[in-house]
Each structure stands twice: as structure tokens, then as C-alpha cells.
Structure 1
Amino acid sequence: MDRTLSPGELLDPRYEVVPFHGRVEELAELERWRAGDAAASVLLLHGQAGVGKTRLARQFATGSDVLVVDDADLVPRLDLRQPRVLLIARTTGWWWSSISQRAARLGYRTAHLAVEPCPDEHETSFATACAHFAYALGLPLPTAAAPDAPTLHDLHLAALIAVCGPPAHWLVPTDPVHGRLAEDVLAAALLDDRITPDRTPEALETLLRAAARLPHARRRAEELFTAHPELADNATTATLRILAEWPAPAAAVARRVFDDPRFAGDPLPAILTRTLARDADQRLERAELHGLLAARAALASLHEEALAAARQEVALYRELAEEDPAEHRAAVADALADLSLRYLAVGRPEDALAVSEEAVALCRVVAAADRDCTPQLARALDQLSRRHAALGHRDEALAALEEATDLYRALAEVHPKLFRVDLANLTRQRAGLTRGDQ
């Protein structure tokens, strides 16, 4: 550095003013991960803000070929090219589940390690921080005792206060700051209700990161986005992932997010849909939202979560069908068809087959009562044929496909524009099965 650091900058772990110490068990666990037998591996290092994740990762990875991605939950699309990738984030949740499922398909082994506070090390950490802050600023070494602080950042902040005095004259920086300190500055400012937060993408992201930790900042963030949902057009993915967990602003920005191509394949639309489903009052609305949730989760590689949503969709429609069979049986059948796809995506073909068989049985009942539902039966038979074929049940696959073809042939005679393409596709599929192509 060619200048003296400001008191606020002394807290930034990138400058390493206070030397790293402790965390022996975590370092050993990280070393075991790096030396593991997996050809490629991703590890998530997670813990609350200020607990010391970044310091730990920097100490471990310096001089190695480990790729470190800090604030990984803020990165829209992670690039996995190194054999060892260490992610740092405050939370796990669906963003991590999406990454871990994608990484597994690319041959990566995935794991996570929680970083917890170390109160046994706080006395040493406080004394060390006081000594180094006092030296850096040319001030006397204080004699204060270590406070009861929840995280390493809070402990270092207390040490800086012990050296410099109350933060009123030094916490607000003259130069831009980032991360935890920027959130603290913003949160302190927002205690004054006359102050309106900046609306740039970076400022909104800082506001939401602070809001995830501090109740008064959350209230301001919720009020801001609920009153001005158009801010979603200017917000980052990281900002909206936090906001998506809160019902009122989630409902306000949902349509803008769903229509925004920036979020295609991201967990954000699924997270928003999950919040809307939890907050829905009507059972039919919850069922419909769980169907959408299954589809959006699958697009974000959240296949286990998509399966859970599809199962909930089926359960809700079953309840509705018990009360009004004529109105909701067809919806149960459609939900079962969706559930079959979700079972396939997680490698459970036998379960997919069982669900498809149930869907066909229900579609027969529905089509017998209403001939307009015959196309639904034909689609269900087509799906059943594919499930049998995937398991090597050639005769059963052919039988289901022939019945579906007969139904589509009859439909195409009456409505050729609507069904002749379906008939042609099934005819080709049947020829392939007959030759043994599938």
C-alpha cells in the first residue's frame, strides 16, 4: 500500500491487517478435500456474514491451484473449469442445490463445510486485532477486555472501536467500500427514515444483503420493491434471490422476473414461485403454482426440488378431485404425467412407469365420461409407451403405442389440422419400436 489505510478499511479481510490464526480443524478438513481421490470436486464453504469464511479460504488456497469464488451466491453463472473449486457464501439453499446438481452431471463430487463462530478463540482474536490496529494507526494499545461478539467481524469491529473510539467519526468512509462493511454503513444510515437508499444495481444489492441480516433494513427493502416493482428490471440476480423469499415484494416483482430473459435457467424464478405457492390462500391456486414450480425448478437443474413440487401438485389435485371428481380428475391425470417426467429426471424409471400407468387408468375414466378428453388419454398412452421402452419392455411399449396411434388416427380423421402431426410422430415411433430401434 502506498497510503495509510482508513480505519474502516482495516476491517477488510483483503488487506489482512490482522494475521490469520486458529481454525485448525477447518484447515485440516479443507486439506483432506483438496487431497481427495475425486478427479474434480466443488466444496461450498458457508456461514453467517462476518464469521471468517473469506480469511479461512484465503489462508487455505494461497499458492495452490484451487479456484476460490467469494460470494458465490451472488454469481449468476459459475464457470466450473478447475479440478478443485472452493465456493464461499453466506447461505446454502436452492442456488447451491442447482449448482451441485449441475456439477454432479459434469462429473464433479460436491460437498459443503459450515464455518461456525469460535468463541474459544475470541480472546486471542480480540487481543491480536487490537495490537495490529493500534500499530497500523500509530495509536496506543488499548486495555479493553474481549466483548461477547457473535462473529469475527464483530470482534474486529469492537477492537477497532477500542483503538479509535466510537465509530461516529470514522465508520462512514471517504472511499467506496464493499461487502460486510458497506452493509454496516448502509444499515446505520437507514436508521434515519429520511434517507432513501440509492437505486443503482450495486446499491440495491448492498441494501438486500444488509436486509438479509438486519430487520430495519429488510423493512425498507420490502417497502421499496413493493411500491416500485420496476426496480426489478435494474436489480441483479443476487438482489432478487434474497427478495424472492419475502411474500409481498416477491408478488410485486414476480411477473417482471418471469418475463426477463436474464433469469432463464437461474433458480430465481423457481424461488419466487415457491414463495408464491407458500403464500397462496386457495388450494387450487397452490396446486397450479406447484405445477409451475416443478417446471421452473427443472429448468434450473433443481431436479429433486422439481420432484417434490410435482408430488405436492398431485396431492393437492387429489384432494380437489375427492371433493369434485368431474372438475378435477383430468388435472390429476396431467399432474401425474408431469410427476412421471420428474421421476425420470432423478433416475427413477420404475417410479416413472408406475405413475404413467396410474395416469393412463385415470385418463380412461375421464375420457369415458367426456370424449373431448380423448387426446389426453392418447398422450398418456404415448408417455406410458416411452416409459416401458426405457425399461426394455418392448411388447408393453408396442401395445401402449398402438392404442395411442389408433386414438390419434381417429382424432385426425375428424380434426386433421390438430392431430395429423401427432399421428405422424407416433407412426414413426411405432416403426422404430417394431425394428428394435428403441
Structure 2
Amino acid sequence: MHNNQQNPIQPICNTGNPQQFHNPQINFVNNNQLPTFIQQPQNPHFNQLVFQQGLHHIGQNINQQQLIHQKIHFPLFLKDIEKQDLLTISGIEYKKLKLLGKGSYGSVYMIQNKQTLEFYALKIQTSIQKEEVEILSRLKQKTFKNLVNTIEFQKHPETNEYFLLMEYCENSLQNIIDQKPIDHKEARYIIKQIANGIKELHEEKIIHRDLKPENILVFVKKDQNSNMTQNIYKICDFGLSSTKDLAKTLQCGTAHYMPPEQIKHQNNLLGYDQSVDIWAFGTVIYELFTQKVMFMKSNRQEVYEEILKITQKQIDEKIQTDLKMLDQQYVKLVQKMILIEPSQRITIDQVLIELKQQSTNIATYNVNKENIIKAKKTMQKTEKHFRRKQGEKLELTASTEQFSY
């Protein structure tokens, strides 16, 4: 089982050195051009800069003529956000509530839309890989059910910092696993949600490469007409994701969840594909039911060695032994996912088909079980009624006999 201490084994794909923070200066150029920055005056709480020159969206340049008739609002960036409570992003006012996390990449804040009162996460990132820019730009164009949705993703033209406005998720699967054993019915629901998220990624030709409980978040969906809520499990953190599936030269991911080919890849030019996510998914399911990682050693190198040395027979026996509390269909599904040979692993479409079949079997079993229980209750009721009638007959006979005296 995980503890609350920091996991010493972290993703090992270096995203680059953070850039030094600095506050953009307000300056004006000659009369034939627009001012580079215009600071909102006389209101210390109106936290925004209006950029009117040199601005570009990710993957799209905006020329000066377009900007003459357009104002685009950004929050003040990281150095300034730490001091401010109100932010304006793309013309919408937000209230900064609290810092959710901070690291070498930058910071993540919880913010609230002042009008709708909805919560969001605002990530200010000091460095970012080119491929992550491409992926986030593409994902921003769509809405996904089981991926953390990106609302805004843009780059500050002066500081080169990126800001990422996302759905706010209240919890992570890692925290849920750490807290207590998960009910099997809830676990089946979680597995189906994760599978849907992986399918959404793979349909976009994206390989996640770092799927683990920490990167699966819980979005709480609230019913507007009642107090009912529903947990939606969403995959996040596409910093190590890739759209390519051949000749990758970087070994990225977190050791416990990496398949052998991903570990080996640092030493050769062999490629890997979407099946790395299937292996990782299988190890997440294992952890969901056992509350422990499948390959646990004291350090990253030992984890690598165990995954590279273990045989398929040993993997199958470990799954069979540690998941013996599950129906055999689930055990076999996990075994089909954690296969040493990538080409033999089940695909995400096949995973979803099997999950649907198992849900049907469970539903059929539950209906049959319910019918058996109903039939049993009916028989008990009939038998009780019969006995009562027999008792009344006996009592009547006894009364008649008494009168004969």
C-alpha cells in the first residue's frame, strides 16, 4: 500500500530547465505602432495585462492588423499571480482561491469563475516540450468525457511562460487507493471510466506513456436539479505523451508502470506503440484491488531489473494469486493486458468489449439471483400460509371435540 510520503520514483523524462521569472515592463513604441503592453490603471485589484502586439496563440500567429480591433486579456504571470487575488482570463473574471501544487515546472492554482461560481485549475508552466504543446493545442479543440479538458492554453509573449486553464478535479485515484479498500462495484466503474479515457487518447493517436493512479483525477459532476453528485474519472498530465509510435529515443514514464520495451528503449532505437498504455492500465487495475504496486522495489533501478527479468509465467501466477478475490474473467483480462510481448497485448477496444460483456454477465447474474431470492420468498410465504391454514383446521377440530363432551 502507498504511504503519504513522497514517492522516490518519479517520471524521468527531463522537460528542460525552468526559465527565470520576470515581470514584463510596460513600454510604448513609435506612433505608427501600438503600445506593446497597456496596464489597466487606478485599480490594484484589476489583475490583467492587455497584450496588443506580438501575441500568438499556440500553433497560430496573429498579425498586428488583427490586434488593432481586438483585445486579448491574460493574467499577470507567475511572479505577479502569487500576489494577486483577482484574475481576468480572456475577458472572464476569476478569483484565486489557493495554491494546489508547486514544482520546478511552475505552479497550479485553484480559481473560481466569479459569475458562474464554477471551479477551475490554472497551471502556469515555465517550460514545456514541443510535443506537449502540439497535443494540448489539439485537445483544446474538443471536449472529452474521461480526459481532463483544457479550456485555454496560451503563451505569454514576453516571459515565455505558458498558462493552462483546465477543469478542476477534487481528488486523485492515488488518494482513493491509499485511503481504504475499494468496493468491487465501484472498482468496475472506475476501470470502465479509465478505459474510456484511454480510448479517447488512442483515437487521437496519442500515447500517454505515464499512466498511473496519480494521473487519474476525480471530477465531481453535480446535478443542477438536485444535490446528487457523480464521480467522473479523468486522465490528466500529458507532459510525457507522444503522437509518434516509432523510433522514440527518450525513456519516459514512472518505473512501476512501465513495460519492458519502454525500459529498454533508452539503449536502442526500437519503437513502441499504444500498447505501453495497456500494460500500465493493467498494473493500475492490479493496484486498485490490492492497494499495492505490482512491481515494488526500494529504488528505480531495482524496479527496472525486476520488470526486465520476470517471466510471463511468473506474471500470470502473481496476478492469479493476488487477484484471487476477483471473478476469473477479470483476472484473465488483467493477464491479457500485462503481457511481455507488446503485439500480444489486448487493445483498448478489446478491453472495452470484454468489460461490457462482463457487465452483461454481472447484470444477468444479479437478475437471476434476484429472481431466485423472489422465488424463495414466495415459497416461504406459501409454506407459512399453508401451515397457518393447517393450524386453523387443527384448532377447529379440537373445538368440535370439546363440544362433543
Same fold (TM over 0.5): no
**Which structure shows the higher helix fraction?**
1
**Which structure shows the higher strand fraction?**
2
